[in-house]
Amino acid sequence: MIFYTLCEKTGFVKTDSIFYRLFQEFPSIFFELIGEPPQEANAYQFSSVEVKQTAFRIDGVFLPAKESDNPIYFVEVQFQEDSEIYARLFAEIFLYLRQNQPQNDWRAAVIYPTRSLDTADKKHYREFFTSQRVSRIYLDELGEAVSLPISIATVKLVIENEDTAIEKARELIDRTQQEISVQQQQRQLLQLIETILIYKFPTMSREEIEAMFGLSELKQTRFYQEAFEEGKQEGKQEGARQEKFRTVPLLLRVGLTVEEVARELELTVEEVQQAAQQQSSNQNDSGKGLTDEQ
């Protein structure tokens, strides 16, 4: 089976990046959306291909084992009104089929945030919809997030109103901790929730993200891991104690205890405390200097 994605940008969230990452890390979500067992995704390899035609690109492809009889699945994620979506979609599908000449049958799915965006003319393609070869999925009609599998509930966070997105994200974080026992899957889901929030709220500060995630969940998010690795790498590469001291405030800000920082940077607890106090003193002196100048 080949899995194909084309994603559009919207004003409030970069759905191309979100859905590309979502289907790359959780291919089972697509099969859940179309009503197939999520286990269908287990034997697939993800890659991308380019159709040899101007502006035509297939962003994601899942290739199954050879000699598989499963159908090719094309999926388009459409988050804005587009009167030519079906003309473009079918042109791309048939160009792909002509160039690659696969033996497998094919199907397609178009994912909308809401039915109101599905306004393109379908008269030239009505047989594809009538036969269910092409299906349409409206995310806002999937049901309440609390009753959905956690993976699909995470997808719905993309279309959540800003007024309720923070609350829904906290609920998803709690569900992830309670329902997902495999550490790798839990980490991926938490990082996906974090990514969606960053796209939806680009002005959200690191402190606000920290406040949303508990310490154990925080340690599994991408920004925590990047900050932590940055601190460790600086200490390793420079090999100088002063460089290690400069990473102390960073690691403390992302939630490590003084003892954890000392252990990871191979410093004493007293040295970590001194570095933190020095940073605080420098900030106070800087603020005092500005006040004096004023």
The secondary structure of 168-200 as a DSSP string is HHHHHHHHHHHH--SHHHHHHHHHHHHHHHHHH
What integer pLDDT is reported at residue 291 of this predicted model?
A: 47
Residue 68 in any domain: the answer is yes
| Dist. CA 35–CA 64, nearest whole Å | 19
Give me the number of domains the chain comprises: 2
With 90 as the cut, is the pLDDT of residue 4 above it? no
What 41-44 contacts at long range (C-beta under 8 Å, 24+ apart), as own/partner pairs, is: 44/1, 44/3
The pLDDT-based confidence of 13 (bands split at 50, 70, 90) is very low
Is the separation of the CB atoms in 43 and 49 below 8 Å? no
Is the separation of the CB atoms in 128 and 120 below 8 Å? no
Domain boundary among 95, 120, 141: 141
Question: Are residues 130 and 10 part of one domain?
Answer: yes
Give the domain range for residue 287: 222-293
- The mean per-residue pLDDT over the stretch 228-247 comes to 59
Residue 169 in any domain: the answer is no
The pLDDT-based confidence of 182 (bands split at 50, 70, 90) is confident
Residue 166 in any domain: the answer is no
How far from each other are the two terminal CA atoms of the chain, in whole angstroms?
Answer: 68
Residue tagged 């920290």 (tokens): 210
Residue 191 in any domain: the answer is no
Question: Are residues 110 and 7 part of one domain?
Answer: yes
Mean pLDDT: which of 138-152, 199-213, 224-238 is highest? 138-152
Residue 236 in any domain: the answer is yes
With 50 as the cut, is the pLDDT of residue 187 above it? yes
Question: Are residues 133 and 12 part of one domain?
Answer: yes
pLDDT, one tens digit per residue, over 251-284 is 777 667 888 888 878 788 888 888 888 876 665 5
Domain boundary among 103, 122, 141: 141
Coil/strand/helix, residue 46: strand
268: exposed, middle or buried (Cβ count in 10 Å: 0-12, 13-18, 19+):
exposed
What integer pLDDT is reported at residue 111 of this predicted model?
A: 92
Phi, psi of 53 (to 5 degrees): -155, 140
- The mean per-residue pLDDT over the stretch 62-82 comes to 83
| Dist. CA 21–CA 92, nearest whole Å | 22
